[in-house]
Structure 1
């Protein structure tokens, strides 16, 4: 007798449990969930630090120091700690990003897929620093294009990547905090937008 059980189906869901990314526009600013980003962490093994840094510099079209974001032809790389990096790419083009990096780096580094561990949001719009400065304790105007900072956004540990100063930023947060981050950022967006209409 043939097996009558239905064929298993896997349906990708966003961090919000939805089929489509969450997009919120308030005033001139837009917060967008980016579930299409492949993410992998790279940690150089002892004695191979220079080799790993050189390989990542090739991918990113330049050296990637701590606190720096570099955008290569197919991947973005930013320093997260001493001899540690995150590599991100378009998931549709680099579905097996972590595996590819592990093959390229061999025994020189430890590579871990982070797709399900982190969520990427973009926050963009003219004068968006006014929103962010309500949420983080750092001199945002000192962060030039290509800066990458690990800091606290309210109570959440995030990576803040400056793609275009006062215009466009990426925020990476642990997946379990996605809803909390969305609430915090949209609340700040509403607050600043309301003040703008009063002035």
Structure 2
């Protein structure tokens, strides 16, 4: 077991960022870690920035993470991914959703929305462990675009296994059980399919 793992999740309102954070907290607890979560910036309306920190550790006193100390980064949207890039440590594991959803931070400032090439160039300067997935496209193929966050959690679970980040076993079933406990019964099967589709994106 590692002494600590620092996560950062960044997206926009309506993408399920906070649900994903809650899942991560509970996966950490299931793995024997102490775990804490903090929503640092949150705007409930669709399009507002949402940023959440999660920390796993033998002992966790605070969920907040210092600049340059993020070990695992999950970005639900490209502009928010770039906005948080400076918080990653060199070599961090990063998963970026390639769906284009312009957040308020872009539309209100008149900034150009980042293209995929620019995004990848900037992340390559920080880490060689970045993966890019179009979670919305995968979820749409399953019949419900709102399952994109669970697609990304599936991908993240497989990436973390591949990197052996934790030093403890966190099989897919643990993640999936925690996810399905948090969705209405009628959406359990959809989320199961979304999670498994996300895992397959790694292979």
TM-score relative to the length of structure 2 = 0.24
Considering fraction of residues, name the structure with more helix.
Answer: 2
Query: Which structure has the greater CA radius of gyration?
Result: 1
